[in-house]
Amino acid sequence: MGLKYIEIIKSVVLLLLVSLSVLFTFEVWNYSPNYEPLEQLQTVDISISEKKTIDEIIKPYKIITNLKDHVLGSTDTEKIDKILTEMNTWNLSDLQLVSQDKKKFDIAQILRQPSQMSFYFTGEVPMLVYDNVLLIDEVNIPEATFNRLVIDWSQSTQAPVVHLLSEMSGLHYQMQVTLPNKTSFLRNVVDVGQSFEEYVEIDRDNAPVLAVPKDPITIMRNTYYQEEINPIRFRDALFSDPNAVRRSQIDATHEEYGDDHAFMTVDTENKFLNYVMPTEESFEFALPSELLLNSIDFVNEHGGWTDEFRYAYMNPYSRYVRFQLYVGGLPVFSDQPNMSEIKETWGDTRVFKYIRPYYTLDVNIEPVQEKLPSGVEVAESLRESEELDFDLIEEITPGYYMIHDVERKLIILQPCWYYLIKDNWLRFAPKEPQGGGMSGLE
């Protein structure tokens, strides 16, 4: 009897355990914990200003129209943009290499031909990059550069031809143009080009073409309030972990931000910064198209185009790119380094050095018209100078000389003439034969 009851008790206990197991399993499946909602982390806004497209960054600073009996020219941004907008509707094809060893004299001869328009760029422009501006119907665009673009409509019965010329390398390419609307071409290119101001080509032997305004010119002298962009925003944009960045005061006008990989020196008086990532330094040749596109993309990533900056110069051997401040279609130069330029030097995969101002031009409080002598007068003064070889001058153009009033936090842009010689822009000053301020290029 005892054994009989023990077996019954075991069965009952086993049934209870199985029942409890099923109950607990059901509770686990249907259990919903009452977690407190996680606080959403705030992301840091590193977009300092608006992004820019390639056609806004790479622009000709001047266009010259050659007619049968006279030369016209313009630096007017509105007119230049109207012509470029029309060109964006074209289809360019049949890219051909005409020559790869043009001398400057030969290029000058091409630029002098009538019934054409010449676009002047300050730096060598990679064709693979400008393919983002013009519609080039080619699969294999070469890794080549140009600094002069010519539209030739001299053959009235045929479509225009576009020439791409490099005064540095001597390369000469040409393409055929398919016009979607010939009337639009005549109205927005030819007619606009014929509305330019009178220019004169300065006589020289084998030197590059030098075309300057025939008459005195009037330019606005501008005085801007200087608006400061907090360097903390650049710290947040340039360092991978802003919270790990340490700040230190170097002296009364310099401070430094840094982590274990990079550092950023800030000049608090002149309002520019210098970011360096030492481990990224490289001495390898960079493909021009990749170098320029990477440089533009890098600034776009943090919206660093705080004013109008245009591509101005590139050296693929030193992996260096420079963008110049422009106001009213004219370049701005300064005796104080780094005040009117954005400069990048690239490493293998990332930027090695980044130097730029961290101010922006605010309200123009005192615009005043000022008259400058004609380009012809400036050219003749330079020709008579005993301090330089006139035939080495590559360009003469109006521009702005920047005066930085630190005490009043003002930036004054004084209209001046500048001339380019041996990769340096020199300020023309009649009483100073050697020129004035110089903006050197690496």
51-84: pLDDT as tens digits = 999 999 999 999 999 998 899 999 999 999 999 9
Consecutive H or E run containing 82 = helix 77-87
Confidence of residue 170 (pLDDT cuts 50, 70, 90): very high
Please list, in sequence order, all residues whose beta carbon lies within 8 angstroms of the beta carbon of residue 282, skipping any fewer than 6 positions away.
319, 346, 347, 348, 352
CB 54 within 8 A of CB 132: yes
* pLDDT greater than 90 at residue 423: no
Q: What is the pLDDT of residues 346-367, one digit of tens each?
A: 999 999 999 999 999 999 999 9
- Looking at residue 69, its pLDDT comes to 86
The residue-averaged pLDDT of 176-192 equals 95
CB 146 within 8 A of CB 124: yes
The residue-averaged pLDDT of 130-146 equals 93
The residue-averaged pLDDT of 319-324 equals 98
Token pair for 66: 């050659």
Residue closest to 292 by CA, chosen among 442, 145, 100: 145
- Looking at residue 105, its pLDDT comes to 86
More confident call, 38 vs 45 = 45
Percent helix, percent strand, percent coil in the chain, to nearest 5: 25, 40, 35
Exposure string for 119-148, b = 16+ CB within 10 A, e = fewer: bbbbbbbbbbbbbebbebeeeebeebbbbb
- Looking at residue 442, its pLDDT comes to 41
CB 299 within 8 A of CB 305: yes
* pLDDT greater than 60 at residue 383: yes
Angle CA 427–432–436, to nearest 5: 25
The residue-averaged pLDDT of 202-227 equals 92
pLDDT > 70 in the chain, percent? 87
CB 329 within 8 A of CB 415: no
The residue-averaged pLDDT of 296-310 equals 97
Residue closest to 220 by CA, chosen among 412, 61, 80, 56: 412
pLDDT > 90 in the chain, percent? 78
Q: 86 phi and psi, to 5 degrees?
A: -65, -40
Domains of the chain: 54-213 (no CATH), 217-442 (3.30.310.160)
Confidence of residue 104 (pLDDT cuts 50, 70, 90): confident
Residue-by-residue DSSP string for 182-216: HHHHIIIIIHHHTTSEEEEEPP-SSSPP-EEESS-
- Looking at residue 44, its pLDDT comes to 47
* pLDDT greater than 50 at residue 20: yes
Residue closest to 217 by CA, chosen among 384, 343, 329, 363: 329
Confidence of residue 34 (pLDDT cuts 50, 70, 90): very low
